[in-house]
Amino acid sequence: MDGDTRDKIREVALELFSTRGFDQTSLREIAERVGLTKASLYYHYSSKQALLSAIVAPLVDGWQEVLDFASNQPHTPAAVRDVLARILDVMLDNRSLVGIFMRDPAGVVAAAESIWQDMIDMGNQLATWLAGPAPTTAEQLRAIAAMEVLGAALSASAYLKEEVSDEEMREVLLDSALGAMRL
Amino acid sequence: MDGDTRDKIREVALELFSTRGFDQTSLREIAERVGLTKASLYYHYSSKQALLSAIVAPLVDGWQEVLDFASNQPHTPAAVRDVLARILDVMLDNRSLVGIFMRDPAGVVAAAESIWQDMIDMGNQLATWLAGPAPTTAEQLRAIAAMEVLGAALSASAYLKEEVSDEEMREVLLDSALGAMRL
DNA sequence: GTCTATAGTGGGATAGAC
DNA sequence: GTCTATCCCACTATAGAC
């Protein structure tokens, strides 16, 4: 069974996409690292966009789960905390994957607008839930701000010199996000 | 005096870079909108990178000013608030410009690593000042989080349906950023 | 499944006439 | 200052042999 090669391609592509950016990564570069030629990649993935879709799936699924969970929750402070924690978990679990969207949003849009739209829509829905029912403008802004704080999970590793454990990151960022909402 | 054409090119490029992304915007596209040919652009700017540099200058300068100001301040809660407010002002004043860096970081890195490095360095220095002297890991994370909140100034306009006045944005985001630092 | 070879496209940049 | 014409290059993607 040669899901092996398919997986290897996916892994290498994920790493390059998230560090160099989607558009800045050529299929030649990926092929080289895997130990194949460009043409052989096309046997496994029908296009660069198809490769991106395969890579991105877990993140979309993860967020969808959080969204489903949130939809069935009343908007209490405890539930807000819980939902934020779950969003943070998904982000930490898919760190490099989120990096693709932060490094080269424009490239993703150009290659696969529908993928990007899915992410934006889910971000909107999560922020909407966080803002609560019939939110004021300020509450909406604070909800967006809280999600931005969670995004700091990723830039953080680039900014900080020392390694930070996932547990500390989880604890501090969750509290910080709640603080951004003044909760 | 034909600084007119130069300025027109700069304006059009700024708009396209910040909406489509740097790499995704071709010089042909810019030229078309200005009403010139690609070749004519090169009379005014020697390369695509030179065009980017010219556009980006005000933002770099603005942040540098904030940094100079911060360096001479003691790290008190009032000063932190003041510095955050100034950072926010620079961001609001250069909204579309910051958009370039958020839409296509990878493209900017590829085209002009030094520009990107300047931005990162300044972000680091501002975050370092915000974190205070001899900061714990948690304090560093919170400082980064606070800066991320200010970045929400930009994504906000994309997420929200209604227009938000700059004054409300300033007020809410500043308080939210302070909240992220638990101040 | 992997290769070599190549088609086809679009980008940045230059030469030289006007 | 602006044009037309062109160069050169890198990329995605395909054709067809092995």
The mean pLDDT of A164-172, rounded to a whole number, is: 94
Q: What is the pLDDT of residues B6-40, one digit of tens each?
A: 999 999 999 999 999 999 999 999 999 999 999 99
Q: What is the pLDDT of residues B64-115, one digit of tens each?
A: 999 999 999 999 999 999 999 999 999 999 999 999 999 999 999 999 999 9
Q: Say what the pLDDT of residue A156 is.
A: 80
Q: Say what the pLDDT of residue A95 is.
A: 92
Distance in angstroms: CA A24, C1' C8: 20
Q: Say what the pLDDT of residue A73 is.
A: 97
CATH of the domain at B175: 1.10.357.10
Residue of B88, B141, B155 to mutate when probing chain A, most A C-beta within 10 A? B141
Contacts of B21 in chain A (CB under 8 A): 104-107, 109-110
Q: State how far the Cα of B23 lies from the Cα of B19, in Å rounded to an integer.
A: 11
Q: Is the pLDDT of residue A158 over 80?
A: no
Q: State how far the Cα of A101 lies from the Cα of A115, in Å rounded to an integer.
A: 10
Q: Is the CB of B42 under 7 A from strand C?
A: yes
Q: State how far the Cα of B113 lies from the Cα of A114, in Å rounded to an integer.
A: 30
Distance in angstroms: CA B157, C1' D5: 44
Residue B162's pLDDT band, with cuts at 50, 70 and 90, is confident
Decide: residue B74, CB within 10 A, 0-12 exposed, 13-18 middle, 19+ buried.
Answer: exposed
Q: What is the pLDDT of residues A125-137, one digit of tens each?
A: 999 999 999 999 9
Nearest to A90, CA basis, from A108, A74, A115, A67:
A67
Q: State how far the Cα of A79 lies from the Cα of A86, in Å rounded to an integer.
A: 11
Q: Say what the pLDDT of residue A70 is.
A: 98
Cα within 13 Å of Cα(A89), Cβ side: 10
Q: Say what the pLDDT of residue B22 is.
A: 98
**Contact (Cβ atoms closer than 8 angstroms) between residue B54 and residue B45:** yes
The mean pLDDT of A129-151, rounded to a whole number, is: 96
Say which amino acid occupies A25. Answer: T
- Nearest protein residue to the C1' atom of D2, measured from CA: B40
Residue A1's pLDDT band, with cuts at 50, 70 and 90, is low
Lowest mean pLDDT among A9-13, A25-29, A116-120, A173-177: A116-120
Of B23, B145, B181, the CB nearest to A152: B145
Q: What is the pLDDT of residues A74-121, one digit of tens each?
A: 999 999 999 999 999 999 999 999 999 999 999 999 999 999 999 999
Q: What is the pLDDT of residues A38-75, one digit of tens each?
A: 999 999 999 999 999 999 999 999 999 999 999 999 99
Q: State how far the Cα of B176 lies from the Cα of A182, in Å rounded to an integer.
A: 7
Contacts of A43 (CB under 8 A, 6+ apart): none
Q: How many domains does chain B have?
A: 1
**B23 contacts A109? CB cut-off 8 A:** no
Residue B152's pLDDT band, with cuts at 50, 70 and 90, is confident
User: Which chain B residue shows the shortest CA-CA distance from A105?
Assistant: B103
The mean pLDDT of B32-49, rounded to a whole number, is: 98
Q: State how far the Cα of A34 lies from the Cα of A64, in Å rounded to an integer.
A: 32
Domain region containing A140: 3-180
Q: Is the pLDDT of residue A157 over 80?
A: no
Beta carbons within 10 angstroms of residue B83's beta carbon: 19
Residue B1's pLDDT band, with cuts at 50, 70 and 90, is low
Nucleotide nearest A34, from its CA to each C1': C2
SS (H, E, C) B124-177: HHHHHHHHCCCCCHHHHHHHHHHHHHHHHHHHHHHHCCCCCCHHHHHHHHHHHH
Contacts of B181 in chain A (CB under 8 A): 176, 179
Q: Say what the pLDDT of residue B32 is.
A: 98
Helix (H/G/I), strand (E/B), else coil: B15: helix
Q: Is the pLDDT of residue B158 over 90?
A: no
C-alpha A28: how far from its chain's center?
A: 25
